[in-house]
Structure 1
Amino acid sequence: MTALPSMTADATPTFPEAARATFAAAYPDRPVTLHHGLVGHALLTLDALATLAERMPAGSVEYNLGKLPLGVRPEDMPANGLTLGETIRTIETNGSWAVLKNVERDPAYAALLDTALSELEPIVAAQTGPMLHREAFIFLSSPSSVTPFHMDPEHNILLQIMGTKTMTVFPARDEELVPAQKSEDFHGGGHRNLEWRDGFKARGTPFPLCPGDAVHVPVKAPHFVENGPAVSVSLSVTWRSERSVAEGELHSFNALLRKRGLPTGAVSERPERQGVRRLVYRIMRKLGA
């Protein structure tokens, strides 16, 4: 059994001991509900987040109208006609969705991320090796907003700070949900949104989230999010691993092979062990192939 990291007597953990034990039993392949202690944190109020957003570079923010169908093309995402600061300060009534990306570039939010992930690092290291490329994202949603069906390349824990939402998570590595060529395009810089079919919904598991709840989402497990009747604020803490990096390399290798009319190879549940194919891909990439 993986040993859980200890906490000092006067420290309030982001993830209490029971949550860390639940995470250890599920990581890296199963989605699971956890509990956290960041509700009411001064850095996660609407005013603090609006101030943060206004000093972030334009490329690190994304926002649009929030009442969207589950399947929507990236080019069809509608703007809301407001500035980002206006969007956050009036999010209760403007029907919008916003994400602040890579907030760990701000020192205060970097410390928040490091504290949270340090509690989980021994568990992660025992299963998938060192935590790589740690990042944090903050999501703000108006009542009844929808985040369309999509996938992400990182190991992810979404912490609910304010309001309620339901995240419906689907199995990773299901090629009916995510065809092989979509994975190849995605790892080549393609958009995260996926094609939605009504028949998919029964294959997902809904995770209702209230303030103090969190959900672990495995790498590239498709999901969509439906916001509740109040403003929602969520913090997403993410990291990469040798496993997630290996999966990206192998899909990128398949993309190169497919372009040349050559047979592609299967990406296993433990892609970090497919060392020969990863080495060939790295050599081809270095040669400019």
Structure 2
Amino acid sequence: MTVHSPMAPATDAPHFSDSARAAFAAAYPDQPTKLTHQLVGHELLTLDALATLAERMPASAVEYNLGKLPLGVRPEDTPSNGLSLGETIRTIESNGSWAVLKNVERDPAYGALLDAALAELESIVARSTGPMLHREAFIFLTSPGSVTPFHMDPEHNILLQIMGTKVMTVFPARDEELVPAQKSEEFHNGGHRNLIWQDGFKARGTPFPLEPGEAVHVPVKAPHFVENGPAVSISLSITWRSDRSVAEGELHSFNALLRKRGLPTGAVSERPEQQGIRRFVYRVMRKLGV
């Protein structure tokens, strides 16, 4: 049964203020920036509501493990916490774990929440990168002191802090020392999101401390890691793809095909959606199974 919080905001209240939308417009799509939001206390985002949601989700849509990890860890070395998902969420204050609920927009109530939040940003996004594509939402639940290792994601992303505190350290996108070209090619062909960490990287990142009611915009494939504060954390990630992010994925996948055949690869520009000829050739090769 979902627990309704007395703090839940009115359903027609804006999720982002005018000043938050202005800050987002100034940064999107290439720069990380801090924002504010109005979703603290929402009835769908309490621990009880999320445990109930998690227990009705398919196993493929949840991921959880021990949370106290090094900044760099191989996917196969990530340790299990030995608990069920429901137990993990209900006892997350003391079990030292990290959990993510993926694609929660498939649940009608959470889908409506995602749509309402993104609707407030849609016109800003459309001016820069075209329509919002493949809208998705993820919910992160983390124990005190948990670490999400150094990784990247393929979507435009805003992470909204709902409960507890954390620090997200965001690094520049398109830095091939952080993310080598071959890693991007592997990533866009199903490779894991985790990246190889070197201590010398840390100075290149910008830390964004987040408290409830704060958020951070993370550009596509900007590497980042997250360090949780001294209390349980709940964060909502609202994401979308764009013509630009789809084009980048196609061009890296094209380079992977070329590299496999010993052919020269091409640069992926800052405006990959404009590299129409290379994208067309890739689509033809993919269709022909070349």
Q: Give the letter for the 1:84 counterpart.
A: L
Q: Which residue of 2 aligns with 1:214?
A: 215
Q: Give the letter for the 2:251 counterpart.
A: L
Q: Which residue of 2 aligns with 1:4?
A: none
SS in 1 for 2:94: coil
Structure 1's consecutive aligned runs of 4 or more residues displaced over 2 angstroms after TM superposition are none
> TM-score, with normalisation over the residues of structure 2?
0.96
> For each residue in 1:138-185, what CA deviation from the matched residue of structure 2 results, as whole angstroms up to 9, or x when unmatched?
000000000000000000000000000000000000000000000000
Q: Which residue of 2 aligns with 1:97?
A: 98
Q: Which residue of 2 aligns with 1:7?
A: none
Matching of residues 222-261 of structure 1 within 5 Å: 222-261=223-262
Cα distance in 2, alignment partners of residues 16 and 100 from structure 1: 27
Shift of 1:11: 3.7
Q: Which residue of 1 aligns with 2:133?
A: 132
Cα distance in 1, alignment partners of residues 201 and 136 from structure 2: 30
> For each residue in 1:23-62, what CA deviation from the matched residue of structure 2 results, as whole angstroms up to 9, or x when unmatched?
0010000000000000000000000000000000000000
Cα distance in 2, alignment partners of residues 140 and 274 from structure 1: 39
Matching of residues 46-195 of structure 1 within 5 Å: 46-195=47-196
SS in 2 for 1:75: helix
Cα distance in 1, alignment partners of residues 180 and 24 from structure 2: 28
SS in 1 for 2:149: strand
Count of equivalent residues: 280
SS in 2 for 1:196: coil
Q: Which residue of 2 aligns with 1:15?
A: 16
Cα distance in 1, alignment partners of residues 97 and 13 from structure 2: 33
Q: Give the letter for the 1:51 counterpart.
A: T
Q: Which residue of 2 aligns with 1:5?
A: none
> For each residue in 1:120-140, what CA deviation from the matched residue of structure 2 results, as whole angstroms up to 9, or x when unmatched?
000000000000000000000
SS in 2 for 1:19: helix
> For each residue in 1:81-113, what CA deviation from the matched residue of structure 2 results, as whole angstroms up to 9, or x when unmatched?
000000000000000000000000000000000
Q: Which residue of 2 aligns with 1:200?
A: 201
Shift of 1:190: 0.2
Cα distance in 1, alignment partners of residues 76 and 48 from structure 2: 30
Q: Give the letter for the 1:246 counterpart.
A: A
SS in 2 for 1:167: strand
Cα distance in 2, alignment partners of residues 176 and 25 from structure 1: 27
SS in 2 for 1:175: coil
Cα distance in 2, alignment partners of residues 274 and 224 from structure 1: 31
SS in 2 for 1:111: helix
Q: Give the letter for the 1:232 counterpart.
A: S
Q: Give the letter for the 1:35 counterpart.
A: T
Cα distance in 2, alignment partners of residues 139 and 270 from structure 1: 31
Cα distance in 2, alignment partners of residues 177 and 260 from structure 1: 25
SS in 2 for 1:172: coil
Shift of 1:12: 1.4
SS in 1 for 2:277: helix
SS in 2 for 1:248: helix
Shift of 1:207: 0.2
SS in 2 for 1:68: coil
Q: Give the letter for the 1:61 counterpart.
A: V
Identity %: 85
> For each residue in 1:239-275, what CA deviation from the matched residue of structure 2 results, as whole angstroms up to 9, or x when unmatched?
0000000000000000000000000000000000000
Q: Give the letter for the 1:198 counterpart.
A: D
Output the aligned Cα RMSD.
0.7
Q: Give the letter for the 1:183 counterpart.
A: S
> For each residue in 1:8-28, what CA deviation from the matched residue of structure 2 results, as whole angstroms up to 9, or x when unmatched?
xx9411111100000001000
Cα distance in 2, alignment partners of residues 73 and 11 from structure 1: 43
SS in 1 for 2:120: helix
Cα distance in 2, alignment partners of residues 146 and 11 from structure 1: 35
Cα distance in 2, alignment partners of residues 151 and 11 from structure 1: 33
Shift of 1:206: 0.1
SS in 1 for 2:160: strand
> TM-score, with normalisation over the residues of structure 1?
0.96
Cα distance in 1, alignment partners of residues 89 and 79 from structure 2: 17
Cα distance in 2, alignment partners of residues 12 and 43 from structure 1: 15
